Structures are given as structure tokens and as C-alpha cells.
Amino acid sequence: MQNSTTVSHPLVMTLTFGEMTSIKYLYCVFVLVGYVLINLANSTVIAVIHLCETLQKPMYIFISTLCFNGLYGSFAFYPSLFINLLYKAQTISYVGCILQVFTIHTYGANEMTILTVMGFDRYVSICNPLRYNTIMSMNTVYKLIAGAWLYSFFLTIIHIILTIRLPLCDSVILKIYCDNWSVVRLSCVDTTVNNIYGIFIIVAIMVIMPLLVFISYVEILRVCARSSKDFRSKALQTCAPHLISITNYLVDVLFELTLYRLTPTNLPYTLRVFMSVNFLVVPPILNPLVYGFKIREIRIKMAKLLLRKLCQ
């Protein structure tokens, strides 16, 4: 700790931008362009799905929820980053820091829970096609979405409660944004309870959820192995975007979890930033591109809506 004085809740937290400040205006351009692209891509997919009645099906509703989560997570990260790059002092209020922690952690947990629900949807579609409409009714779909979000919010709220009770000895966050572990690191007291609960969350989100997806795909592979070549081809086309999204997300989170276990100052600054922002930057850009361009129905509807607007 740089300062041994206990501060219950500092008014301002200082973020660590390091080498980024030397070319901050260039980074501002990248951040602004990235944020605009994320909003445009995700909003387009959401709008197309909700404007076209033929896309009012479980798979597409889940895709729009995933895109909405990308907008939610980006809103917690990009505006704050842009503002801090513009100003000489890269700071954030303690309350703002805790709000950012809550939003970013719920975004990350939501991403995994939604992808898990989408895996279940693919399992029912391929393994129980005759019962699909009965099992995946719109009422069930909305309950699954609500459950996925509530699960993430409940886990994160407990995380936040455990964190805000800690007195802090420092106010310097070793990242360009606030996350829970970066705040807990600053505590002057024993954080065993926080550490144990952190491990519980990792198991609840990053072990149990991928395991459920894995079980779904094992069953899908079993059905495909007994089916025709055409059926296997259609199943692969349906599952490919989901597999791309979940693989990318797990790799991105692995970077973040690896960074948690290391002392950030021991890593090169560029590598540290890359590992810490990957899960906030890549999924919100990749998901709408994957689903917008890989799924034929969405691609066709996008083209029709665009042509309609151009012809008006």
C-alpha cells in the first residue's frame, strides 16, 4: 500500500492510465469510434429483430438480449474512459467507481448466463424439435431471460455489499476502470470473506454455466451423430454463432482472471491494458457481427429494411 492511513470511503479514486496519456487524443478517437460502432451494430440487430414479426422467435429474442447486454456493458465503460482520457487528472468518484463495478460485473455475468440459456435453446431445438414450441413458449423465454439477469444481479449485489464495508488505505486503481478486485486490493483489513465469495462467483458463473453449455452440446453431438448429413449441416449452421460467441467470451474472461491472480505492476503496461479490457471491448463488437452476418434470416431482414429506407 502506498499510504497506510485508513480511509473508510475516499471521495475520489485515481485510475492508472500510464502511457495512454502521451497520445490520449488518438485513444479518444479510437474510443469514440468503437463506442459508436458498438451502439450502431447492436442497436441495428435489436431493431431488426423487434420490428420483424417473423423474427419473434426464442432464438432471436435471446440474440437481441445478448446485444442489449453489450450496450449495457459498453455504457459503463466507454463514456467514462473517454472523459478520463480528455482530462488531465484521471479520477472517478468513489460512488461512481462502485456503480461502475456493479455494472461491469453484472454485464460480465449476464453475458455468460444469456449464452447458457441460448445453449439450452439450441439443445431443445435440435434434440427435441417436435416439442420445441411447447417447451420454449414465449412465456418460458421471458422467464429464462429474467432469471438470467436476476441471477447475475443477485450475485453482484452481494459482491458490492462485501466490498463497500471495507475501509481502504489507498485510492489508486491499477486499471483504466474500476472492478471489484481492484477496489478490494486497496483494503487495510482482512479480505478473506471477499476472496472466498469471489471464488464462489467464479464457480457459479465460469464453471457451472460453461458446464451446462458443454452438457447441452454433448447431447447435440449425440443427436447429430445419428442423423443425416443435411441435418448435421443445418445444426452446425445454427450453433456456429453461439459457439463463436461463447468461445470468445471464455477466452476474454480467462485473460481477466489471469490478471486477477498476478500483480498488475509486474506486467508490461500494454499487455495489462489488453488483458483487462478484452472482455469489455470484443464481445459487444463481435456478437452483432456474428449473429447479424452469420444468421441468414437476420441478414435478409437487415437488407430488406435498409432497401426500404433507401427507397423512401
Which set of grid coordinates corresponds to residue 118? 441460448
More confident residue, 236 or 31: 31
Give the global pTM: 0.89
Q: How confident is the model at residue 265, as a pLDDT?
A: 59
Domains delineated in the chain: 12-311 (1.20.1070.10)
| For residue 3, pLDDT beyond 50 | no
For the cut 90, the answer to whether the pLDDT of residue 63 exceeds it is: yes
What would the pLDDT profile of 103-121 be if each residue is shown by its tens digit?
999 999 999 999 999 999 9
pLDDT tens by residue, 134-154: 999 999 999 999 999 999 999
Nearest to residue 245, comparing CAs of 33, 27, 70?
Answer: 70
Task: Please answer whether residues 64 and 142 qualify as being in contact, where contact means their C-beta atoms are separated by less than 8 angstroms.
Answer: no
User: In sequence order, what are the beta bridge partners of 7?
Assistant: 168
Query: What pLDDT does 307 receive?
Result: 65
Amino acid identity of residue 137, one-letter, is: S
155 with 205: CB under 8 angstroms?
Answer: yes
Average per-residue pLDDT in the chain?
86
